[in-house]
Amino acid sequence: MVNDPSEKGPAAKPPEGTADKPSIPSKPETPTVPEAPAEPVAAKPPVAPPAAKPPAATPPAAKPPATTPTTAAPGTPAAPGAPAAAAPPKPAAPPAPPKEAPPKPVALDNELVQRLKARFGDAIREASLDRKQAIVLIAVEKLREISHYCRDDEKFDMLTDLTAVDWPKREKRFDVVLNLYSFAKNERLRLKAHAGETEPAPSVCEIWPAANWMERECYDMFGIVFDGHPDLKRILLPDEWQGHPLRKDYDILKQDTDWVRENLGIESGQ
């Protein structure tokens, strides 16, 4: 059966909620004007980082000039890059002055010497001045008597030293030396006497008690005998020691070897 389009079928129902509402005509749409196409923006090419500069080539070292560079005047700055001028040679040190020989003793004849000569005559053999030190050479047998006079009359109340010197080639090989000091006069005096190898010298212990150990040391080291000493014996070396070490003809090594062998029963150095 062919449907006749003129036939009306049942009318289609309007959707709910719209039957009572009048239809409102919609506003006519404003025609849209097409926008002009934007001009294409050319893309910027990527910027490459700056390339690292190659290191500058080191210039070859300049050869020193063949001739010796002249020294600039003092205070003149050196040109940049110029080689440093060689330092001038140091002046030679002046030669050392020759050493002066020590002054020689000169003869002395002051008031003290005149008083000694007037009192003891020929026992005062000679007097000299050596580097401001008065030295009087006397006869050894008058040593105690002259010492008494120097202490009591000339006020040399202190014996600072008593020693000896060995002159092995001289007839009287020893110098017995007394160094005196006067507190009252602030003055020094040296008494010196020549003594033979076996000739005794008078002790001065009763005049200056300090002479006790000094005379013992001279006896120990030189073998000088002091007549009148209260206890003359060795003070540094053992009693059985042979010889006197400060004599210039003494063989200390042989004596040491002999003493060690005889008293300790061993060889020296063991």
Instruction: Tell me: pLDDT of 41 over 90.
Output: no
Q: What tokens does 70 get?
A: 């002249």
Question: What residue spans define the domains of the chain?
Answer: 106-236, 237-270
- DSSP-derived letter for residue 267 is -
Contacts 24+ apart (CB under 8 A), 212-216: 214/159, 214/161, 214/162, 214/163, 215/162
Residue-wise pLDDT tens digits, 96-123: 888 888 888 999 999 999 999 999 999 9
CA distance 254 to 266: 14
Q: Which residues pair with 128 in a beta bridge?
A: 107, 135
For residue 72, the model assigns a pLDDT of 53
Q: 3-state class of 129 per DSSP?
A: strand
In order, the DSSP letters of 194-221 are EE-TT--EE--TTT-TTHHHHHHHHHHH
Q: Which residue has the higher pLDDT, 128 or 56?
A: 128
Nearest to 210 by CA among 157, 144, 164: 157
Per mean pLDDT, which of 36-45, 67-76, 179-188 is the most reliable? 179-188
Phi, psi of 80 (to 5 degrees): -60, 135
Instruction: Tell me: pLDDT of 45 over 70.
Output: no
**pLDDT (mean) for 240-254:** 87
Question: In angstroms, how far is the first alpha carbon of the chain from the final one?
Answer: 160
List C-alpha distances in Å: 92 to 88, 195, 210. 12, 54, 56
Phi, psi of 236 (to 5 degrees): -110, -35
Class (C level, CATH) for 106-236: alpha beta
Q: What tokens does 252 get?
A: 């200390």
How much of the chain, in percent, has pLDDT values that exceed 90? 50
Instruction: Tell me: pLDDT of 133 over 80.
Output: yes
CA distance 220 to 224: 8
Check if the beta carbon of residue 146 is closer than 8 Å to that of residue 116: yes
Q: Crossing angle for the helix pair 143-152 and 111-120, nearest 10 degrees?
A: 130
Phi, psi of 125 (to 5 degrees): -75, -45
pTM higher than 0.85, yes or no? no
Phi, psi of 159 (to 5 degrees): -95, 105
Q: What tokens does 74 get?
A: 């003092």
Note the Cα 153 to chain centre separation in Å: 51
CA distance 96 to 129: 30
Confidence of residue 233 (pLDDT cuts 50, 70, 90): very high
CA distance 112 to 134: 10
Residues whose CB is less than 8 angstroms from the CB of residue 140 and which lie 6 or more positions away in sequence, other chains included: 176, 193, 194, 195, 199, 201, 202
Instruction: Tell me: pLDDT of 191 over 70.
Output: yes
For residue 145, the model assigns a pLDDT of 97
